[in-house]
Structure 1
Amino acid sequence: MQTALDHLRQDPVLANLIAITEAPKPAHAHDDIPEHDRLYVALLESIVSQQISTKAADAIFRRFRMLFSQTAEAEGYPSPKQLSEATVEDLRTAGLSFQKIKYMHSVAEFALTNSLDFDYVQSLDDEAIIAYLTPIKGVGRWTVEMLLMFVLDRPDVFPVDDLVIRQKMIRAYDLTETGRPLIRRLHDIAQPWQPHRTLACRYLWRWKP
């Protein structure tokens, strides 16, 4: 951590931001889930959380897990086979939309025919993981980048499509560009942060201008 901070502080804007911002907490997500299933469960949770508040997503995901509490092969969540066989009607009772049910079934189908084993996916580089997982319906680049940062603990992820990251960087660096020129400028600013862009982004998320 200290080596990463020393590197990031070479950017004077980021150095000032780090100085006034509480340090991010450890990024490991789903420590309560067996390692080999963490990506699978994280993908399901990411789909549930799309376009709704964290509080609503937590409630729906809790109800979703409860649907399988008596029969789940793993504690508290369904195996891919169980999820693929769950009916739309049953899943709707957890508060899931028809579209999200379609996406969750897509995760289950992917897991039945491809490996979501933590060690296997961890063996791939970042771009290979993005290419591997984005064929799943409802899973885009941003979703995989969040998995890279918070589940796989990859140190050099820059989710330029994240609206909050864009807004914070525009504010911190007094940017006036829009559209493609803005994206190029954001990449230019973040390039010197390598290989610690994940930590820089976590500070940007926590920073309160």
Structure 2
Amino acid sequence: MSVEHLAALDPIFAECLRVGGPAIRDFSRPTGFVGLLRMVMEQQLSTKVALALWAKLQERLGGVVTPDAILAVDDDTLRACGFSRQKVGYARGLAEAVASGRLDFDAIHAMADEEAIAHLVALKGIGRWSAEVYLMTTLDRPDIWPIGDLAIQLGVQRLKGWADKPTPRQLIEVAEPWRPHRSLAARLVWHHYVALQEQARALKTPKRAASTPPA
């Protein structure tokens, strides 16, 4: 489905493009262990901070992030790269599951959406949000609608003009007409939300005074 077709179903998507611009941002992630580990690290972090910390982790590990590399470094190294004590445990658990063969990404990638989500959330530290976003941003699954995502909640609230943040039921119901293309809908709402955040930050940043030209 094209963006134009989705916008014809609901005018909020035309608003997404008006505010965010015609080029939809790239929210894609790498597949497999690296993609899921990044999601663990990025939880509750801004995009800018998460990217900087991921680059730091890559540098500490010699440029290649693998399950064996994660298991080989000490906790202090992982904490220095943005992993809280809890996230260190999640990262090691994920690395052990992949290294031991208990977690088979090829098998998960071949599963239907709900079956794949069920296998992913069985891992400690991987909730439904992480599993859904993994399927959407790494495998390009077309009909994922992560209602637990705060940007989706606040974005839909603003776009629909609702006074309160929508409930899970409201988010499910509002997206029913967009099936089976809810992933595109989610990307557009993210696109809109990120644009608004950037605009808000720009307004808060004081302008520097112009320097006096030399005489």
Instruction: Give TM-score scaled by structure 1 length.
Output: 0.79
- What residue in structure 1 maps to residue 172 of structure 2? 187
58, 62, 72: which is aligned to 1:65? 58
Cα distance change on mapping 1:189 and 1:67 into 2, 3 Å: same
Q: Which residue of 2 aligns with 1:51?
A: 44
Paired positions, count: 191
1:68–1:77 contact (8 Å) kept in structure 2: yes
Deviation of 1:26 after TM superposition, in Å, equals 5.2
For residue 205 of structure 1, what is the amino acid of its counterpart? W
Report 1:147-186 matches (<5 A): 147-176=134-163, 182-186=167-171
Cα 1:25/1:89, change in 2 over 3 Å: closer
CA contact (8 A) 2:25 2:191 kept: no
Partners of 2:44 and 2:84 lie apart in 1 by: 11
- How many Å separate the matches in 1 of 2:145 and 2:82? 32
Contact 1:65–1:78 (8 Å) recurs in 2: yes
Give the superposition deviation at 1:120: 2.4
**Pair 44,5 (structure 1): closer, same or farther in 2 beyond 3 Å:** same
The residue number in structure 2 matching 1:123 is: 110
2:11 aligned counterpart, secondary structure: helix
Mapped partners of 1:128, 1:47: distance in 2: 20
Q: What are structure 2's unaligned runs of at least 5 residues?
A: 197-215
The equivalent position to 2:75 in structure 1, one of 80, 88, 91, is 88
- Per the alignment, residue 23 of structure 1 pairs with 23
Deviation at 1:100, TM superposition (A): 1.6
Q: Name the counterpart of 2:205.
A: none
Instruction: Confirm or deny that 1:134 pairs with 2:121.
Output: yes
Match of 2:131 in 1: 144
* One-letter amino acid of the structure 2 residue matched with residue 29 of structure 1: R
What secondary structure, in the 3-state scheme, does the structure 1 residue paired with 2:78 have?
helix
Q: 1:90 to 1:12 in 2, by over 3 A?
A: closer
**8 Å CA contact retained: 1:28, 1:150:** yes
Q: Tell me, in whole angstroms, the C-alpha distance in 2 between the residues paired with 1:44 and 1:114.
A: 16
Amino acid at match of 1:66: E
Shift of 1:178: 6.0
RMSD: 2.4
Stretches of structure 1 lacking an aligned partner (at least 5 in a row):
31-37, 70-75
Contact 2:157 2:165 (C-alpha < 8 Å) held by counterparts: no
- What amino acid does structure 2 have at the position aligned with 1:40? F
Share of identical aligned residues, percent?
31
Alignment partner of 1:11 is 2:9: yes
